[in-house]
């Protein structure tokens, strides 16, 4: 082991300095998520393999990890022998994905969503999607609360959950994500 990082920023800095053969990366990290750190590491250190080791079973996290250049996606419940075998495999250029996540990936490839809404709906609750749609339209928390007949604090809780589930950092990223996924039509009033 040549280095250890507590944040996404630090992981990128260390990878650039140390040029490791492999980086074990979690999704949830301080000062930037592991998905963004993975993209940066692959941009600056293309020869370093990044192996996601996380507790997240989110399809969206899996897809983003692959898109950002991860060579594998493993859940933290695996044993040490499997972890070391997987590390050796990705250094040799192989891909390693947890069997549960692999099944979801094959299903996604076999039946791709017509738009990003399908991926989002797998990760978010119906109410979180309603809030995300209104965020994408540029609505304020008080207006979202009034439109959905919920409290401002409930809106804030939904926003926090949305950011965590989609591995986003702020409201602006959430709005951009919603637009990319085609979630700009108004949510039904309930």
Last residue of a domain, one of 70, 89, 110: 110
Q: pLDDT digits over 25-80, tens only?
A: 998 887 668 988 999 999 999 999 999 999 888 888 888 888 889 999 999 999 99
Instruction: For residue 186, tell me if it sits in a domain.
Output: no
Residue 110 has pLDDT above 60, yes or no: yes
Residues above pLDDT 70, as percent of the chain? 87
Domain of residue 131 covers 117-180
92 and 123 share a domain? no
Instruction: For residue 24, tell me if it sits in a domain.
Output: yes
Residues above pLDDT 90, as percent of the chain? 41
CA atoms within 13 A on the CB side of 42: 19
93 and 167 share a domain? no
Give the per-residue pLDDT at 156.
93
Instruction: For residue 148, tell me if it sits in a domain.
Output: yes
Instruction: For residue 187, tell me if it sits in a domain.
Output: no
Helix (H) or strand (E) holding 69, with range, is none
Last residue of a domain, one of 91, 110, 129: 110
Mean pLDDT of 82-97: 92
Last residue of a domain, one of 67, 85, 110: 110
103 and 133 share a domain? no
Contact 152, 160 (CB under 8 A): no
168 and 86 share a domain? no
58 and 130 share a domain? no
Residue 179 pLDDT grade (very low, low, confident, very high; cuts 50, 70, 90): confident
CATH code: domain of residue 174:
1.10.10.10
Instruction: For residue 185, tell me if it sits in a domain.
Output: no
88 and 121 share a domain? no
């Amino acid at each position: 082991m040549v280095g250890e990082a507590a944040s996404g920023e630090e992981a990128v800095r260390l990878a650039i300095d140390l040029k490791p053969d492999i980086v074990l990366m979690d999704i949830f990290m301080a000062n930037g998520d592991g998905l963004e750190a993975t993209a940066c590491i692959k941009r600056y250190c293309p020869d370093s393999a990044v192996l996601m080791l996380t507790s997240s079973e989110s399809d969206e996290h899996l897809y983003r990890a692959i898109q950002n250049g991860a060579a594998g996606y493993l859940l933290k419940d695996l044993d040490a022998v499997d972890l070391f075998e997987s590390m050796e495999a990705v250094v040799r250029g192989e891909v390693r994905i947890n069997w549960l996540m692999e099944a979801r990936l094959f299903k996604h490839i076999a039946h791709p969503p017509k738009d990003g809404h399908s991926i989002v709906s797998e990760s978010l609750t119906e109410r979180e999607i309603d809030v995300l749609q209104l965020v994408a339209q540029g609505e304020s928390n008080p207006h979202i609360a009034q439109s959905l007949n919920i409290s401002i604090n409930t809106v804030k809780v939904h926003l926090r959950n949305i950011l965590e589930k989609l591995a986003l950092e702020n409201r602006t990223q959430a709005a951009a994500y919603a637009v990319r996924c085609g979630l700009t039509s108004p949510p039904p009033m309930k």
